[in-house]
Amino acid sequence: MHHDTLCHLGIDVGDKAAVIDVYHRARDFGASVVKPPRTTWQEAPLHELWLEDPDGNLVEIYARLTDEELSNMPQDHVPVLQAPETV
């Protein structure tokens, strides 16, 4: 992989709790967090976290929303942060 030829690498970790867990592990490790964990509603609704590896490649950690989570989508579709200490 190289950031000149790769848009990003996406890794599905299963659920929102796992996305938040990866975030805490990445912070403890000292990884570069590009976008903290959040739930997005536009295009493909996801719980997502964006990291950058030492070579500048973007890594998207994500989980698809459950039907129940989709039913709670806000009308304004504004992303919702999932780790309060990231604000």
Domains of the chain listed by start with CATH number: 1-68 (3.10.180.10)
What pLDDT score does 87 carry?
39
Sign, CA torsion 24/25/29/30: negative
Q: What is the pLDDT of residues 23-52, one digit of tens each?
A: 999 999 999 999 999 999 888 899 999 999
- Give the whole-number percent of the chain exceeding pLDDT 70: 89
Q: Edge-to-edge strand order for the sheet containing 9-12?
A: 9-12, 58-64, 46-52, 32-40, 80-81
